[in-house]
Structure formats: structure tokens, C-alpha cells
Amino acid sequence: MPRSVRGSAALNDQVYDGLAGFRLAMRRFLAFSEAALAEAGVTSQQYQAMLVVRTMPGRQVRIRDLADQMLMPHNGAVQLIDRMCAGELAMRIPAEDDKRSVLIGLTSKGNDVLESLAKVHVKGMLVNEPLLAESLSRLRQVTELA
């Protein structure tokens, strides 16, 4: 890590500007995301879980792997999946290789909701890209000069 960012040297004002810009872009995106999710009737955790399932091989995930990906305890993942199943976003599928394990997959409704939200989120990310890119570029320039 560059000397100007770690250690005892005072940080340059541009570092603070870059950090503030980055956090502003993130806050704007998160506020946008929460509004989009609320409109769709989905929580942030449910959306994240759907993304995890969608990116797994076979588009199915074991609950323990979902918990790991979501950085949450196993019982929290079970409760999340319970709510998603009740909302018809996800379904439990018996694992063929281990009869004690259960896989989680998305229902047709879950796939449709995810597809719609993913499109909205990509647009929202691109709106915030200029501020995010400028902030990261500023931080890179400052730390490379140190």
C-alpha cells in the first residue's frame, strides 16, 4: 500500500475528495436500489440471494453456500429462503448426491423478478459510473504520486 495512504503521513485533500465522491456514488446507488427493490416488493437480501443463485452452476445453491456468499449465519439463510419460498421467488430442491441436503433454485416468478431488477440496477449503476470512476481515478492518481 502506498505510503500516503497507510502509515503516519497526513492524507492529501484529494484523498478525502476521492473517498467522499466514492461514498456519495455508493449512497446514491444504494438509495436508488432500495427504491427499486421496494417497488418490486423484494428486500435487499432477497435480491442478493437471487443473484447468488443465478450465478451458481446449474443455477442452484446449497443453503450453506448461500450463507457463505451472503456473509450470514446458516439459520439466517434458512429464514431468508423460507421467506423467498413463501413469496414464490425460490424453491427447495432435494439434492441428488446427498439426500440430507437441499438446493435452492429460483421459480419462474423469481427469475422474472430478478431479470427485471437486474436491468434496472445496471442502468442505475451506469448513471453513477462517472462519479465513481472519477473518484477512483483521483484516488489512484494521488496514491501513485506518493
Tens-digit pLDDT profile for residues 54-80: 999 999 999 999 999 999 999 999 999
List pLDDT tens digits, range 36-58: 999 999 999 999 999 999 999 99
Q: 33-64 burial, b if ≥16 CB within 10 A, otherwise e? A: beebbeeeebbebbbbbbbbbbebeeebbbbe
How many whole angstroms separate alpha carbon 146 and alpha carbon 143? 5
Cα–Cα dist 28/121, whole Å: 12
Grade residue 35 by pLDDT with cuts at 50, 70 and 90. Answer: very high
| Band of residue 140 on the pLDDT scale cut at 50, 70, 90 | confident
CATH topology of domain 13-145: Arc Repressor Mutant, subunit A (1.10.10)
Q: At which residue does the C-alpha cell 445496471 appear?
A: 122
Strand partners, 61: 104
pLDDT in tens, 94-119: 988 887 889 999 999 999 999 999 99
Domain boundaries along the sequence of the chain: 13-145
pLDDT of residue 143: 75
Q: In the prediction, which pLDDT does 4 show? A: 47
Q: What is the strand order of the sheet 60-62 is part of?
A: 60-62, 102-106, 90-94
Check residue 146 and give its pLDDT: 61
pTM of the entire predicted model = 0.84
Helix (H, G, I), strand (E, B) or coil at 2: coil
Averaged pLDDT of the chain: 90
